[in-house]
A and B are shown apart, each in its own frame.
Chain A
Amino acid sequence: MAEEEKKQEEKPDLKAMLKKLSAGSAYRKMVAASEEGKPIVFASAAVPVEVFFAMDLYPIFPESLAAISSGIKKADEFFQIAKERGYSPSICSYTRCGLGIRWLSKCAFGPIPEPDIYMGETNLCGLHVTWWRYLEDYYKKPTFFLDHPALSGEVEEYHIQFYMDQIKAMVKFLEESTGTKLDYDRLVEAVKYSDVAGMYWKQVMELRKIKPSPSSFRDLAGQILPIVTFPGSPDAAEFYRALYDYYKERADQGTSAAQNERHRLMWLGIPIWHALHMINYFEEQGVSFVYEPYTSLSWGNKVPSGRLDPSQPYRTLAEKYYMMMFGNYPLKKKIDVLSKAVEDYSIDGVVMFNNRSCRPQAIGQDIIGDTLKEKYGISTLTFEGDMGDPESFDWGDTKNRIDAFIHVLDGQKN
């Protein structure tokens, strides 16, 4: 057998690996776990998931399910029931869709079991607090909040100490609620896998500095899911190792999602899940997205060294989850970080998703755009919409504006 063919055979099947970690697969595992009597946790994103893995608990993440439902156009009934129950469209679409999922006890993949525990996080946005308080009030199940105060500057030791105490309190709460003791060795193991997954994810992001960029934002928006929902599993660690190899090879070969990449952009905001084809539309015209805070800054090993420390699992998880919340940093710090990204990733334009559903991300975005424009002479495009709810989003109008924007980018280069 030729050496090249042998190599091909040895390559891991990325699609199969991703399928194993997909939302659908996670859903099936969760249902099976519930049938075996294992506790199910209805959890907010950005809670220390490694603890769930170490305690053999199975999570349901309503925000991820809302994003997926929107992406595959199966969110209508969830929005509809929220509307019928008097939930104004000014309320975040993740919340409305996530509540619909809970009320109807089903998601895009099928019925969901009754959760045993609810777990919220207070820093993603203020609505998370109201959302999980409602779940606590309505379903009367044990509920815990990871309290995560706002930052006015850098993360300091007292923040980490407080959050470390929060994680310990979370473990105690889970132990009391489930009757299962945390296996410390399993937590250490989960942190090790999480570290490997986070490290490779970071390297995947770094590869996007190469011209042309080997990855598509649209693919990454799906590939990020395991690092959000299963960072403590060996499968996730293995997947990100393989993902890095895959993109490395593409980078070495000069393969890109954009045809003859001629412009490199930054995307500010959450992906617009119901209109991800927008990314392909850019790529078809030779324009790549090479950097987004959503993929590069919010998940993975956001600790100063870039590596988690399994020998201190509580501390390292406190650092990871306190530091990874890009939205929690002051505007000046955000601008500094994004300025560096413009330089490091050779960015020529910024697309700003003015997301009605996410005020924390939308407020101040224009200042970021204006500052980068002034500093680097790059162009910006702003469009309004909602990450999950397609109502009132006008693709025709947005497409025209994208065309005009690309025209400006072309002029900028000439």
Chain B
Amino acid sequence: MIEQFREKVQKRHDIARDWKKKGGKVAAYFYTLVPREIVHASGMLPVQLMEEKDGSYLEQESKLQNFVCGLARNVSGQIYRKVYDYADLCVVGVVCDTNRRVFDIWDYKKLFPKMILLGLVQTRNEGSLQYMAQAFDRFRDQMSAIVGKEITDDMVMSSIKTYNENRAQFRELYRIRGKNPAAISGSDVMAVVQASLIMPVEEHTAMLKKLVASLPQTPTGNGKVKLMLSAYNFNIAADVAKIAERMGASVTADDLVHGVRYSFNDIKTGPDVMLSLADGYLFEIPSPGLYSFERKVDFIQKSMKETGAKGLIYVVQSMCDAFAMESAVLNEKFEERQIPFLHLEVEDTPASVEHMNTRIQSFVESLS
């Protein structure tokens, strides 16, 4: 079953091209603050620009300095190599300095037929919520102009409900995994999350329902060291999960940016659709600065307790200054709360993975 999700991820560009062949349009997006519900309501297929496990994108083609984060370099490399040449549009929701500035470059070099930047707020109060709702409303108008049809409140509401169904299935998956980590591995969960970002949501929900139904709910594996994983680069996260699992541990919880973002809370379906979306997107993402440090540690501690995780692996991608700073802050809090943790700052390369191997082994052994 899980192989179907992996296949979708591997063949994601074919999926998008098939969509186009059938007369559809594709919106590439980068990344978590782009409201996919509006893209969905427009009829376009949202496809997240995702890091690829190919170092050549980093070194040869990104045209960005080596002190820029590997994720942005990797994605830029893919764009220069025309991997996303099927996209009719690219939408960037500003989450950091790097993703905003690479937007500027892609826009200046006209690497996509159309580009939209979502300049959003970073505080949460009545005024900023209104601003965010208006920004989403302007985005709706822009999407409407691109697809040549009106996108009504009802259409957006219907898309919110469609995504909420997907979120509900994710919550169920995480619940089962928490109770029975042997049911699905950490890297398999990542494949499910990744697939959700590149394929039609209805199809993903149907696959996820089947997967959830097939998983044994009662604990089947005992004696393994249970871990929680905090990360945002899929390749690194999957590698870490695989290594940990090889060392005899199981991943029972995570706070992947994408997973938490979309699955833990439904978007409310209040009378003002854009305000509901703004409310759902603002401050629910566990990103540095946009999310309280205490709240993040509370969430990690609660997840670990609920799933019996004995230790936390906290992975930061090299050259991401915001996460690097967050990790320094959180490390102090983990120590204060006596949460056993392993902090890894790594690049998405084979050498980094090898380096992690020994450290993860030592960490797992220390918890055994």
Residues of A in contact with B (beta carbons under 8 Å apart): 85-88, 90-92, 95, 122, 125-127, 129-131, 133-134, 137-138, 145, 147, 149-152, 158, 162, 165-166, 169, 330-332, 335, 354, 356, 359-360, 362-364, 366-367, 384
A318 to chain B, nearest CB (A): 13
With CB as the reference atom, state the residue of chain B lying closest to A136. B292
B67: chain A residues within 8 A (beta carbon):
90, 356, 359, 362
B363: chain A residues within 8 A (beta carbon): none
Structural contact, B65 and A354, CB atoms closer than 8 A: yes
CA distance A331 to B127 in the complex (A): 29
Measured CB to CB, the closest approach of chain B to A148, in angstroms, equals: 8
Q: Of B67, B108, B325, B329, which is in contact with the most chain A CB atoms at under 10 Å from its CB? A: B325
Tell me how far the C-beta of B125 lies from the nearest C-beta in chain A, rounded to whole angstroms. Answer: 8
- A130 and B108 in contact, given A86-B328, A92-B321, A359-B68 (Cβ under 8 angstroms): no
Q: Which listed residue (B122, B134, B327) contacts A158, Cβ 8 A?
A: B134
What is the CB-to-nearest-CB distance from B328 to chain A, in angstroms, rounded to a whole number? 4
Which of A91, A133, A367 contacts B289 (CB under 8 A)? A133
A363/B101 in contact, CB under 8 A: yes
Cα of A52 to Cα of B236 in the assembled complex, Å: 46
Q: How far is the CA of A44 from the CA of B177 in the complex (A)?
A: 44
Residues of chain A with a CB closer than 8 A to B288's CB: 129-130, 133
Report which of B97, B293, B325 forms a contact with A359, defined as CB distance below 8 A: B97
Given contacts A134-B293, A149-B94, A330-B104, 17 further A-B contacts (CB under 8 A): A86-B332, A87-B328, A88-B321, A90-B319, A91-B325, A126-B95, A127-B289, A129-B289, A130-B289, A130-B325, A145-B122, A149-B122, A151-B119, A162-B127, A169-B127, A335-B108, A363-B102
The answer on a CB contact under 8 Å between B318 and A90 is yes
A335 to chain B: closest residue by CB: B108
Across-interface contacts of B101 in A (CB, < 8 A):
359-360, 363-364
The 10 closest A-B pairs by CB, nearest first: A129-B289, A150-B119, A152-B117, A363-B101, A130-B289, A149-B119, A331-B104, A331-B108, A88-B324, A86-B328
Does chain A have a CB within 8 A of B322?
Answer: yes
Chain A positions within 8 Å of B322 at CB level: 126-127, 129-130
B79 at the interface (CB under 8 A from A): no
Known: A137-B292, A364-B101, A367-B108. A122 touches B123 (CB 8 A): yes
A residues in contact with B320, CB < 8 Å: 90
Partner of A330, one of B95, B108, B116: B108
Inside 8 A of A87's CB, which chain B residues have their CB?
324-325, 328
Asked if B328 contacts A85 (CB within 8 A), the reply is yes
CB of B121 closer than 8 Å to a CB of A: yes
B151 within 8 A of A: no
Asked if B211 is at the interface (CB within 8 A of a chain A CB), the reply is no
User: Is the CB–CB distance between A133 and B105 below 8 Å?
Assistant: no
What residues of chain A lie closer than 8 Å to B292, measured between beta carbons?
Answer: 133, 137
Complex CA–CA separation, A323 to B78 (angstroms):
34
Q: Please tell me if B294 contacts chain A, counting CB pairs below 8 Å.
A: yes
- What B residues does A91 contact at CB under 8 A? 321, 324-325, 328
Complex: A151 Cα to B119 Cα, angstroms? 6
- Docked Cα-Cα span, A152 to B105, in Å, equals 12
Decide if B127 touches A122 in the complex (CB within 8 Å). Answer: no
Q: What is the minimal beta-carbon distance from A175 to any residue of chain B, in angstroms?
A: 16
- CA of A122 to CA of B121, assembled, Å: 9
Query: Considering the chains assembled together, what is the distance between the CA atoms of A87 and B330 in angstroms?
Result: 11
Q: List 11 A-B contacts (CB under 8 A).
A: A86-B327, A88-B345, A90-B318, A129-B289, A133-B292, A134-B325, A134-B329, A149-B131, A150-B100, A331-B104, A363-B98
A149 with B324: CB separation less than 8 A: no
CA distance A151 to B104 in the complex (A): 10
B146 contacts A by Cβ under 8 Å: no
Q: Chain A: which residue is nearest B127 at the CB level?
A: A165
Residues of chain B contacted by A85 (CB below 8 angstroms): 328, 332
B127 shortest CB reach to chain A, Å? 5
Q: Smallest Cβ distance from B230 to chain A, in angstroms?
A: 16
Query: Given the complex of chains A and B, what is the CA–CA distance between A366 and B96 in angstroms?
Result: 20
* Nearest-CB residue, chain B, relative to A334: B104
Confirm or deny: B128 has a beta carbon within 8 angstroms of a beta carbon on chain A.
Answer: yes
B342 at the interface (CB under 8 A from A): no
- Cα distance, A134 to B343, chains bound together (Å): 19
Residues of B within 8 A of A147 (CB): 121-123, 128, 131
CB-based contact B135/A90 at 8 Å: no
- The answer, yes or no, to whether B15 is at the interface (CB within 8 Å) is no
Q: Beta-carbon contacts of B104-117 to A below 8 Å, as 1s and 0s? A: 11011100000011
In residues 2-57 of chain B, which contact A (Cβ within 8 Å)? none
- CA of A127 to CA of B96, assembled, Å: 8
A87 CB → nearest B CB, Å = 5
Specify which of A158, A332, A363, A367 lies most central, judged by the most chain B CB atoms within 10 Å of its CB. A363
Most buried by A among B122, B320, B345: B122
Contact present for A150 and B325 (CB under 8 Å): no
A223 to chain B, nearest CB (A): 28
Q: Which residue of B lies closest to A87 (CB)?
A: B328
Which residues of chain B have C-beta atoms less than 8 A from A354's C-beta? 65
Contacting residues, chain A, for B365 (C-beta < 8 A): none
Contacts of A149 in B (CB 8 A): 94, 119-122, 131, 135
Minimum CB–CB distance for B83 against chain A, Å: 21
